[in-house]
Structure 1
């Protein structure tokens, strides 16, 4: 029993070192130029051992994205005021999520030209990513629904998909666009809110 627990702890630490190194590589060169050799060098773990945990580059990058994405969600949730409703709540939720993602170095590497196709492909076809986005957007939609303002002609899952799509699209915008808080707020209120809320 003790041997099994020790093996599990060693495996957990090894996996964390691999993910940490891959995170740094993606942040530096992007997903497109991610190489297992660089991850091995950064982690001090052999390529063969890395392949034992992650059979290919896509699975490794997916694991990193899921880990970092969960952190982004938690940080963003902490920055949504509890007293907002309607368009103000939606705007705060979008801006909090974008800000939290921008604060993580890996997202610059993931959303660079050449890597974006991978991110979109993963987001569109990964149930794990879908659940992660659901965990973020469902409470926001529930708060809006509590005031009777969520559109009832669209399924909540479709609204979550739309919000996640817009979030990914915003992360591709130049920094000066994202830094324009009034412009971002107007974008959410004028274009995104009508897709989510009834008037």
Structure 2
């Protein structure tokens, strides 16, 4: 601090204003990471995020190449542009990682998530829950006299919307898979 109580670079008229204002905005990115399918790889990738204080919004993992023993890890994370670049660079340096794709910046992609949503209710609330689920094209995968379990596949925003509408109708529980994503086209 100086006599005027200004931080260095705080004034837009300062010759020392070196801050990049766009770098302060948080962005959500979907990263597709191709790795060797061997024990400990997921722990190393997760450890990279945990050790540096990066947050994981969604995580899915599955073997995609049985003959080549490769798995695909899809991570949705939020951070500033520089943090996202740092995450991609650090992931690329891990030995079992073969490829890191940022689906958010590489072009259009398809993202889907699966959710199981349990709603309990009787009478009019039960009927309204069925109507609401039908609007979202959710399937009934389990039914008792007191509850339904709906299955919904769609974007995370679509799933959030259905969950919000089911709360007043007797939402009991939600299980979500996390985002699976793939680039469109070739």
TM-score (norm 1): 0.28
Could you say which structure has the larger radius of gyration? 2
Q: Per residue, is there more helix in 1 or in 2?
A: 1
TM-score (norm 2): 0.30
Q: Per residue, is there more strand in 1 or in 2?
A: 2
